[in-house]
Amino acid sequence: MDFSDRVGLEPATDLRNRLKVLCEEAGLDVVASRMIMRREDTMEESYRFVFVWAHEPGWTRTLPDHRKDQALPEGADHQVQIQAVIPLSGQWPETVTVSCGASSQVGELWDKPTLRTGTTKLVDLSGFLQKVVSQQKTIITERERGGKGPWEFGDMRWKEVGIDFYQD
């Protein structure tokens, strides 16, 4: 573990900037980003997580009455999260993961449908994000009308989280 915290920072920063550009190409506003280094025994085993959070222009979620007296939680305006893992060697990943839920309320966690097939090639991210936010809006509208999932759009699938959070 005897290596600088700066090792691999430049390629990770370049990747983060590329993710931001791809979000913007998809018509999304980037609202936050973060990089976290996971230090292992050797530099070759270590990597960085790169996160980017974005939303469509005008994206808003309502604050339920029971939370009106609370400060908005961090991330209340995050519509989608993009995550990439890059080794400290700087080798860019071929795929990234997009995570999000279909909810119009802040803090609705356990019973909102979540995207279950959110991995895409980095080069396809912009178009993938456009599909995701379109599907997300469709599901929110259907849920407000009383619709129940799971929802499928071709090879993309959304399912309620429920109690079995980590089971698909």
Q: What is the pLDDT along the chain (168 residues), one digit of tens a residue?
A: 576 777 778 999 999 999 999 999 999 999 999 999 988 888 788 899 999 999 999 887 776 666 655 665 666 778 899 999 999 988 999 999 998 888 877 766 555 778 888 899 999 999 999 999 999 999 989 988 988 878 899 888 888 765 443 444
**Residues 100 and 80 sit within 8 Å (Cβ to Cβ):** yes
Among candidate residues 57, 99, 104, the one with its CA nearest the CA of residue 81: 99
Structure tokens at 159: 């399912």
Q: Residue 45, SS3?
A: helix
Among candidate residues 165, 158, 159, the one with its CA nearest the CA of residue 131: 158
Instruction: Provide the whole-model pTM.
Output: 0.85
* Beta pairing class for 151-153 and 156-160: antiparallel
